[in-house]
Amino acid sequence: MGHAKAAIIDEEYARMYGGKLILRFDDTNPEAERLEYWAAIKVGLDWLGVKYHMVKNTSDDMELLYKKCLELINGGFAYLCTCKQETVSANRREMKACKCSLGDLEQNLERWEKMFSKYKQGEVIVRFRGDMKSENTVMRDPVMCRIIEAKHPIHADKYRVWPSYDFSVAIEDSIDGVTHAFRTKEYELRNELYYAILDALKMRKPKVIEFSRLGFEGMPVSKRILRPLIEECKVSGYDDPRLPTLEALKRRGITPEAIRKFVLSLGFTKADTLAPFDTLESLNRKIVDADSIRLHMVRNPAKMKISGMPSAITLPNHPTKDIGTREIILDENLYIESEDIKNLKTGDELRLMGLGNVQITKTEPLEGKYAGEELKPQIPKVQWVVQKDAQKIKILIPSQLFIGEQFNEKSLEEIDVFVESYYSQLKEGKEIQFVRFGYCRKDSVLQAIYTHK
């Protein structure tokens, strides 16, 4: 969802100003990259309907990035540091420069050359000459290039010296002709470095603009929090309906149109406010309502026997839109929700929705007689399912994943219910409104997922 916000805002701005949208994979950390991520991002953007004009990988420009790094070294803007990682960190904390930063060009060039052959991972880094005394910790001689021996998903073992995100993103934005780079706010401190690199190389500077990262109350979007939940099997995967991932939202029945409207309704805000999930739900409800077939579903079923019933009935699939009808073969044995018949007495009347009135003739076991279709506003209306026609399915009901900082162990409720057999004729992925319950998306023949009220 975090990516979705960025992509939608980027696309809208590009469209508004006649610009172009570049989909670029900053793939210069081979340890963190997998081809599945490329695929997942493309699938997600397609689903959202985000169109881009160009796709590229930062790793396509490795030779150019080396050239620019060497330019920094030659210009005295960067140096090679062979200090241990702990020393580098300690010096950063203590705002102290290391000996390497005093080395001459000859030493730097020699180390640069050895970086491609002799040095091992962790033995050398290229550091930008920032300011070890800067209040902005990002500026304390940050890493521009490092050795990573892992296999890259596209280039395999071809490269071992990899540019850092800070370095490559500045160069790439500049050479790709990016005019406006939108990033989430947690990168704000990195802007100083971004501009300093481009200044040192006398390259064109794009304008960087930040916006706040999208977050939902009780539903964290960061991978740092979500990944452990998956690894510890607290949720079933990235498409678990409790998660704010696109896969999960799709599975739950949230539409891409609603996500776009929602993101645009938040606008270009910088404030870190948590968005209420209900807003997304209510936008979604307006979109899915017209196409959602109305079906009967009964929880905690109670049996009821009714005499004098018509033999069949045709029900409309939607109260106002023409999305077809369905015929139900009736039978005297029905399921009704236990909740709905709790206080019934002999002589009471019930309205079976879409069918007609029933007068109770006996309560143990529950029996009644069909009493015609006349509308009587004062009698309770209930949904029902013919026992012979009933199909048992499971409904998953997701709720808030975290309560405060605590994982909510009860965040996924599962209920067994009876639905009309017409359910089995619907396509997977179809949105349904179970009457008097709420909207659900058909997940499989045996399972639906609760979307919202």
Return the structure tokens found at 299. Answer: 């929880």
Residue pair 412/251 in contact (Cβ under 8 Å)? The answer is no
Q: Which of residues 29-88 bind Zn ion (CB under 5 A)?
A: 81, 83
- For residue 91, the minimal CB distance to Zn ion (Å) is 8
Question: Smaller CB distance to Zn ion: residue 45 or 83?
Answer: 83
Question: Smaller CB distance to Zn ion: residue 127 or 441?
Answer: 127
Question: Smaller CB distance to Zn ion: residue 69 or 100?
Answer: 100
Q: Which of 45, 48, 98, 393 binds Zn ion (CB under 5 A)?
A: 98
3-state secondary structure of 315: strand
- For residue 87, the minimal CB distance to Zn ion (Å) is 7
Q: What is the DSSP string of 398-453?
A: E--SEETTEE-TTSEEEEEEEEEGGGGGSPTT-EEEETTTEEEEEEETTEEEEEE-
Is residue 170 part of the contact set for Zn ion (CB under 5 A)?
no
- For residue 83, the minimal CB distance to Zn ion (Å) is 3
DSSP state, 60? G
Residue pair 400/385 in contact (Cβ under 8 Å)? The answer is no
Question: Smaller CB distance to Zn ion: residue 81 or 246?
Answer: 81
Is residue 397 part of the contact set for Zn ion (CB under 5 A)?
no
Is residue 254 part of the contact set for Zn ion (CB under 5 A)?
no
C-alpha distances out from residue 188 to 127, 361, 381, Å: 20, 72, 57
- For residue 165, the minimal CB distance to Zn ion (Å) is 21
- For residue 132, the minimal CB distance to Zn ion (Å) is 11
Question: Smaller CB distance to Zn ion: residue 115 or 249?
Answer: 115
Question: Smaller CB distance to Zn ion: residue 81 or 309?
Answer: 81
* Residue from 9, 51, 11, 58 nearest 33 by CA: 58
- For residue 122, the minimal CB distance to Zn ion (Å) is 13
CA–CA distance, 48 with 43 (Å, rounded to integer): 9
Is residue 126 part of the contact set for Zn ion (CB under 5 A)?
no
User: 50-73 burial by CB neighbour count: b if 16+ within 10 A, else e?
Assistant: bebeeeebbbebbeebbebbbebb
Binding site for Zn ion (CB under 5 A): 81, 83, 98, 100
